[in-house]
Amino acid sequence: MCGIIGITRGPGTAGRGTDAQPGEGGGVDQVLGVLLEGLARLEYRGYDSAGLALVGPPDGDGMWRARAANGIRSLDDLTKRAESAPRGATAGIGHTRWATHGRPSEENAHPHADCSGRMALVHNGIIENHIELADELIAEGHLLESETDSEVLAHLIESRLAADPGTGLTGAVRAALGRVRGAFALAVVHSDQPDLIVAARRVSPLLMGLADDATFLASDIPAILGHTRDFFVLEDDEIAELRPGSIRVTAPDGTEVDPAPLHVDWDLDAARKDGYPDFMSKEIHEQPRAVADTLLDRLLPDGTLVLDEVRITNEEFRAINKVFIVACGSSYHAGLMAKYAIEHWARLPVEIDIASEFRYRNPVLDEHTLVIGVSQSGETVDTFQAIREAGKLGAKVLVISNVLDSSMAREADAVLYTRAGPEIGVAATKTHLAQITALEILALYLAQARETLSPADARAMLGAMGVLPDKVATALERASDVEAVAEAYRDSPSFIFLGRQVGYPVALEGALKLKELSYLRAEGFPAGELKHGPIALVEEGTVVIGVATRTPVWEKMMGNVAEVKSRGATVVLVANDGDEETARHADAVLWVPETEYLFAPIVDVVPLQLFAYSLARLHGHDVDRPRNLAKTVTVE
Ligand code: M6R
């Protein structure tokens, strides 16, 4: 999830930014000012690096480009470098990066240029077939300087322009995108056409904005809300030509289309949250995208799985005889969910431990053990120390992380990145779903390497994975129904969460979310364990929330539901759409679509996140910053 910004204005247009830019004798350079201000607003989308390219400055030499990669200080560094930028550019593009392909570095920072240095491009998304395209371009004589998938696009466009100069920049972009698989939002400038920006998108977001004398583009509304309130949405596979005060959009076949207008009257703070009241609800609703992006380019059309970042060979995978998962909090629950999938498909024994406990026992590990550290931040000190210890004991260490080049990613033998984008709310939501997705991919990968799953079964599972983003989206459509259930039980002082098998970690996660957001007592139990003690907590009116979707243990689960109901509990059940038999045993139902049972946690946990979120809001709590908690825990 990177951020893109662009502006084009006519050469005769007076600047009208608000902050005087250095080097202009106290005047204002509108293009540079808009880009730097927009990048500051887009920084939440990633700050591994920042960069910009300008075209058309009268005293410049065609194109001027600057990039900086210094973590959180990248934009400050870029702003300093921009002090020496030529003034009076007619158009420019900028980018703030959240690294996926290629570590955070200046070479990997956007904008990327073509071989001539006259064209520059910024990209957000993932080009799935970049390796194949790069091979072709290198054979043609192009010099690629970065490790990114994005740079390939710049050279591909250059190659198309050289093959057919009459096609123009727009035609070359269209021809290049015809070769590309994956997701993209991109903006391209060329010093030969200094008032033109060509933009295109598929899946990744891109908006355009129009003012009298200038035209803008950005990954989100807040980046340019200070300059216009009149936006246009670029749809998948459309290409736009932005010129000062005008936008022309064409469909994939080249026919002109009218882009959908969008007038925005929100204030800036509301816009940063995309119209959601807080970051947590925004992030909850970004979950279909987080799951889809985590799956992207890892499932090949022929049904095989590819994990490029895993630097452990199939021979080494085959030699593994035990898996050990270490993690904390929601990441631990994701690991627990994956245990079932790894054991079932890959036929490997899986042990799992809370990371802070792992280091203080004497775990039995050797070079045939695969230790999986799960951490969205990749910085949690308990998990970091656990994987370091595992490495010392000779185990192979694989990390699942949402942050490229995090401490844990650097420590591990292999990394599998989730692609949820930055998560601002303290409660893990979209990163949690992305973790489960990544772990399920890994489970199938292990099964593939160990040949424990037939190709037909593997294909069936891959098919079921492909529709998970839609199922998560369907579960999210019921947010207002979940809110009504939360409203009904808002005065309950405590909650018991129950689940069996894959539903058990879902129950634990539901209880954790409720505790951390609403500050109410909430405990998760394996439903079958209840009668060994915890059932003593149940009395008339105790609210019990059960995960009762159709997994192989549904009947057993319903037996446990009957046990609490007969002792006076009020029962809320997570049930599959249309399952009236389950609904008959519940006082309220949280409906979710049915899915292959080993993937069910990805869908079933969604209403429990929404329930905790709604209850916390009903109690007037700050859902983005719950008390006593930090997003990343770097103390033991
Ligand atoms: O960054 P990590 O995934 O290692 O963080 C682990 C836990 O601190 C985290 O999941 C925590 O439990 C969340 N606040 C849960 O919402």
* pLDDT band (50, 70, 90) for residue 20: very low
Is the shortest distance between the CB of 418 and ligand 1 below 6 Å?
no
99 and 234 in a common domain: yes
CB 63 within 8 A of CB 93: no
What pLDDT is stored for residue 261 in this prediction? 87
CB 63 within 8 A of CB 191: yes
Residues 6+ apart with CB under 8 A from 499: 505, 506, 507, 508, 524, 526, 527, 546, 547, 557
Q: Give, for ligand 1, the residue of 406, 633, 636 to mutate: max count of ligand atoms closer than 8 Å to Cβ.
A: 633
CB 481 within 8 A of CB 591: yes
39 and 105 in a common domain: yes
493 and 451 in a common domain: no
Q: Please give the order of strands across the beta sheet that includes 322-327.
A: 350-354, 322-327, 369-375, 396-401, 414-417
Angstrom distance (rounded) from CA 483 to CA 99: 36
| Domain contains 401 | yes
* pLDDT of 308 strictly over 80: no
What pLDDT is stored for residue 634 in this prediction? 66
**631 labelled catalytic:** yes
* pLDDT band (50, 70, 90) for residue 303: low
- Mean pLDDT is lowest, of 107-111, 297-301, 308-312, for 297-301
65 and 118 in a common domain: yes
| Domain contains 606 | yes
* pLDDT per residue as tens digits for the range 41-69: 888 777 889 999 999 887 767 899 999 99
The DSSP secondary structure of 249-280, one letter per residue, reads EE-TTS-EEPPEEEE----HHHHHTTT-SSHH
490 and 526 in a common domain: yes
* pLDDT of 101 strictly over 60: yes
59 and 28 in a common domain: yes
> 513 lies in which domain range?
478-618
Q: What are phi and psi of 479, to 5 degrees?
A: -55, -40
300 and 209 in a common domain: no
CA 264 remoteness from chain centre? 25
* pLDDT of 82 strictly over 90: yes
Is the shortest distance between the CB of 328 and ligand 1 below 6 Å?
yes
To the nearest whole number, what is the mean pLDDT of the chain? Answer: 91
| Domain contains 64 | yes
Among residues 171, 205, 177, 199, the alpha carbon closest in space to that of 45 is found at 205
What pLDDT is stored for residue 354 in this prediction? 96
Among residues 445, 439, 436, 502, the alpha carbon closest in space to that of 472 is found at 436
Catalytic: which of 322, 515, 556, 631?
631
* pLDDT of 552 strictly over 90: yes
Phi and psi based region of residue 141 (left: phi greater than 0; alpha: psi -120 to 50; beta: remaining): left
What pLDDT is stored for residue 390 in this prediction? 96
| Domain contains 173 | no
Q: How big, in percent rounded to 5, are the helix, strand and coil portions of the chain? A: 40, 20, 40
* pLDDT band (50, 70, 90) for residue 361: confident
Is the shortest distance between the CB of 401 and ligand 1 below 6 Å?
no
Helix/strand/coil for 355: helix
Nearest residue (CA) to ligand 1, atom 11? 329
Q: Give, for ligand 1, the residue of 280, 283, 328 to mutate: max count of ligand atoms closer than 8 Å to Cβ.
A: 328
Is the shortest distance between the CB of 170 and ligand 1 below 6 Å?
no
* pLDDT per residue as tens digits for the range 159-174: 999 999 999 999 999 9
What pLDDT is stored for residue 275 in this prediction? 81
Q: What is the CATH number of the domain that holds 240?
A: 3.60.20.10
| Domain contains 210 | yes
Please, which residues bridge with residue 184 across strands?
125, 202
State how many domains the chain has. 3
Angstrom distance (rounded) from CA 520 to CA 527: 20
| Domain contains 215 | yes
Percent residues over pLDDT 70 in the chain = 94
Nearest residue (CA) to ligand 1, atom 2? 375
Is the shortest distance between the CB of 474 and ligand 1 below 6 Å?
no
| Residue 329 CA: distances (Å) to CA of 51, 375, 398, 423, 426 | 36, 9, 18, 15, 12
**339 labelled catalytic:** no
Which tokens in the block code for residue 277?
């009241």
* pLDDT per residue as tens digits for the range 461-494: 888 899 999 999 999 999 999 999 999 999 999 9
Angstrom distance (rounded) from CA 100 to CA 195: 31
Catalytic: which of 2, 328, 339, 565?
2
Mean pLDDT of all residues in 373-381: 91
298 and 195 in a common domain: no
> Helix crossing, 130-140 with 150-163: angle to 10°?
50
549 and 453 in a common domain: no
* pLDDT of 279 strictly over 90: yes
509 and 463 in a common domain: no
508 and 463 in a common domain: no
Q: Is the pTM of this model over 0.85?
A: no
* pLDDT of 577 strictly over 80: yes
* pLDDT band (50, 70, 90) for residue 458: confident
* pLDDT per residue as tens digits for the range 209-256: 999 889 999 988 878 988 998 999 898 899 999 999 999 999 988 899
| Domain contains 158 | no
| Domain contains 602 | yes
Amino acid in the structure at residue 118: R
Among residues 183, 298, 313, 291, the alpha carbon closest in space to that of 237 is found at 183
